[in-house]
Amino acid sequence: MRGPHNIWRLIRTGATLERTGAMTVVLDAFGAPRSLRIAARALGWPFKWLGYKGDPNLPPATRAITALGPAYIKFGQVLSTRPDVVGSEVALQLRMLQDKLPPFPRDEALAMIRSELGLDPEIVFEDFSEPVAAASIAQVHHARIRETGQEVAVKVLRPGIERAFRKDVDAFYLAARMVSLLAPGARRLRPMDVIRHFDGVVRGELDLRLETSASAEFLANTEKDEGFRVPHVHWFLSSRRVMTLEWADGISAHDIEAIDAAGHDRKALAERVLRLFLSHALRDGFFHADMHQGNLKIARNGDIIALDFGIMGRLDAYTRRVYAEILFGFIRKDYHRVAEVHFEAGYVPPDQDVDEFARALRAVGEPIFGMDATRISMGRLLHYLFEVTERFGMETRTELILLQRTMVVVEGVSRSLYPQINIWEVAQPIVEDYIRDNLGPRALLRDLARTAIVLARFGPRLPQLAEKILVEKEFEVEVEPLPSFFSRPLAAALLSSGFTALLVLGILAI
């Protein structure tokens, strides 16, 4: 579906913003300069009549985004958590995108369940309710399993949602391609890779079997986390378009008045949200990547209940260590070390000056230490960060997109609960614990032991592999190629590291 015909979709996007009155709201929220305002209005106004009308009962920003489709709604959900970036008025307008979108009929949901599960929902469930929450991709019904009497939440995909998302993402591909062609300076942001990454995330979210699996893994990882709960799933009542899980009673995280009325400590809740996210990202390398208020509930006993596991993030061990070192450097105000880590990880091109980069990072970090969170403009901070990345030729790291996005969302949630929260103070003990366990001598020995274990699997073949490498090098004759998992550099590195590992372990044994 990708192609020039998607220009129509982009034109309609601008036209819809203009027709619904959202264009002015959006430009004001981001503090757009006069030149950009003139260009945007010049492109949007002539085509105003082509824009979607939307629901006139909704505020402008929400009206435009809901009319444009599910991919735009996903973007709006992120913005709804950042009143410090888009302003409190726009954030309030967008908050309803989290779980208060127009639902589809209950009968259609029952038909979907019957088709997907091959079961009669009237026999399996009793008290199957009207939709209790409706989001961009699916809606949720409250029901009871007739056989056991257990209360459950039944999540059902919106009919035709796959095609609707495909249309939006195709238009995004075109927009990314246009940005790459017309704005060479933006190529370092790798817009095509960003959209490709977003496309993959969305495809995963549209298959509820993957979400069911993710929720089970997340539950296993977090069962011992104090003050945190993940509902159990019912595998036999879940499929590609239907997911059934334990019903979770609680107050929505964006209902501040109800949280106060229930007597919960909002400061403690805000700090716990942030600590839990950091623990999951650093400790497990598997984190909830859509932690907006609509996906969090506060139980009667104060536990935080996570919902909606369609978007989960993964970090490999190396990336976690880099991420932790960067956070730790900021916490300790060791900007030179933060700069060095960026260079070591390849985040900054090697031809740049590490000292200059450290000075730029200091200009980012110093203004936010020791200052009341309510006085920090994240909009200005993010703008300066963008300037820094551009100045030093830093490319977008697609493997970190979900992490960065979730950090923005989680900080927004924490601030909505307790505006004065100091994210660095909350993060410090989590990061220090990770650094102590993963970046010291003990971690080195653990890595060497793991290397030895891996090598042990190939122990019987190591002499043969070594002989092949030597024959090729000494006699330069053709021999049978090495197995696909063993490149020559990799084999040499493994042999070397294996010898080192065994040597260290032998010394320890003595």
| Sign (positive or negative) of CA dihedral 292, 295, 297, 302 | negative
Report the 10 Å Cβ neighbour count for 362: 15
Q: Is 247 left (phi over 0), alpha (psi -120 to 50) or beta?
A: beta
DSSP letter at 138? E
Active-site residue identified among 84, 290, 353, 433: 290
Separation CA 237–CA 244 (nearest Å)? 6
- Rounded to 10 deg, the angle between the 423-438 and 317-331 helix axes is 130
| Sign (positive or negative) of CA dihedral 388, 392, 396, 401 | negative
**Active site (annotated) includes residue 290:** yes
Separation CA 510–CA 505 (nearest Å)? 9
| Sign (positive or negative) of CA dihedral 503, 505, 506, 508 | positive
Task: Tell which residue, 365, 96, 77, has the closest CA to residue 255.
Answer: 96
Contacts 24+ apart (CB under 8 A), 101-106: 101/66, 101/73, 101/134, 101/135, 101/136, 102/55, 102/66, 102/134, 103/130, 103/131, 103/134, 103/139, 104/131, 104/134, 104/139, 104/158, 104/159, 106/130, 106/131, 106/141
β partners of residue 251: 298
User: What burial class does residue 87 get, using C-beta atoms within 10 Å of its C-beta: 0-12 exposed, 13-18 middle, 19+ buried?
Assistant: middle
Distant-in-sequence, close-in-space partners of 477: CB < 8 Å, separation ≥ 6: 471
Separation CA 249–CA 94 (nearest Å)? 24
Report the 10 Å Cβ neighbour count for 457: 8
Separation CA 201–CA 312 (nearest Å)? 9
Residues recognised as catalytic: 290
